[in-house]
Structure 1
């Protein structure tokens, strides 16, 4: 059994459930922020038969059970505190029946749990109709694919005409179309309060100049430490 479980520890996300004991950092409900990184997760499609799962798909789906259980428990704790649960790359948990059920119940019962759920995904088609209908505020950023654009217009409840389709492709960085809980739709620009936040969350690869500056800063810091 030990050898069988040990063989799974090499996967990038395995450290979430496998450990060697001792004084290690763990998730703590008392912390103001908890971040679960599940890079490398490969959740099988709901229509795929379990006997056809690859090893990584079977482990990925199994891992969703403790992850979704954690978020469910977190959302139900201390209703006097307002809590936020954010799912980036939401298509991954939504592609499994376990993840979809957890998100659906969480969003439906969010008010009674004093918890807000935020889902972020690459494509509007990742979030199905019934689940999307229960989401209050909707943000749609720049899109180029015609299928995704039409789905976005359905979500925003805007007419599918060429002008609206074109507007979807003209959104700049930080711009989106926003539909609020009252059905109002408008164009929205996000302005970060601090440049540091932009730097931390930017997924744009750094330029050669920026890379060189980073290396110099690291080298200077290392020399000071020595």
Structure 2
């Protein structure tokens, strides 16, 4: 994992699903930090896919994320809002709670956050 993407001639992207595995142990955290360093050095993309903000929120890592998507998670609404640079006010919690399937919050590389809707482009994908 740490060496993937070190060829400057190649464009690489790493999709890390169930990323909690990397945050569950000191060894995993070390590997993930090294992957980020390599990714930044070689301009690679890393997709950190998790079901919880707790898996991705590290006080010293908050500046390392480019864009983020967050769907409503009833047990973590305040954390989701903070991660997405929104105040955890009652109004924002209600906005998050009222999102329907396919809607999520999107944060861009400048820290701006908006609510977006994801739609299925092709009928064959519906299955």
TM bucket normalised to smaller: 0.7 to 0.9
Contact 2:22 / 2:31 at 8 angstroms: preserved in 1? Answer: no
Partner in structure 1 of residue 84 of structure 2: 156
For CA contacts below 8 A with separation 6 or more, give which structure has more relative contact order. Answer: 2
Structure 1 segments, 4+ long, off by >3 Å, are 192-199
Gaps of 5+ in 1: 1-70, 200-226
User: Any residues of structure 2 matched to 1:118-157 within 5 Å, and which?
Assistant: 118-127=47-56, 128-145=58-75, 148-157=76-85
Asked if the contact 2:2/2:38 (under 8 Å) is kept, the reply is no
* Corresponding position of 2:31: 102
| Higher relative strand content | 2
TM-score, normalization by structure 2 = 0.86
Helix, strand or coil: the match of 2:100? coil
The structural deviation recorded for 1:124 is 0.8
Aligned to 1:82: 11
Question: What is the rounded CA distance, in whole Å, between the counterparts of 1:108 and 1:72 in structure 2?
Answer: 9
SS at match of 1:73: coil
The structure where helix makes up a greater share of residues is 1
Indicate the SS of the match to 2:3.
helix
Aligned length: 126
> What is the root-mean-square deviation of aligned Cα atoms in Å?
1.8
**Any gaps of 5 or more consecutive residues in structure 2?**
none
Distance 1:196 1:75, change over 3 A: farther
- 2:72 and 2:105 map into 1 onto residues whose CA distance is 9
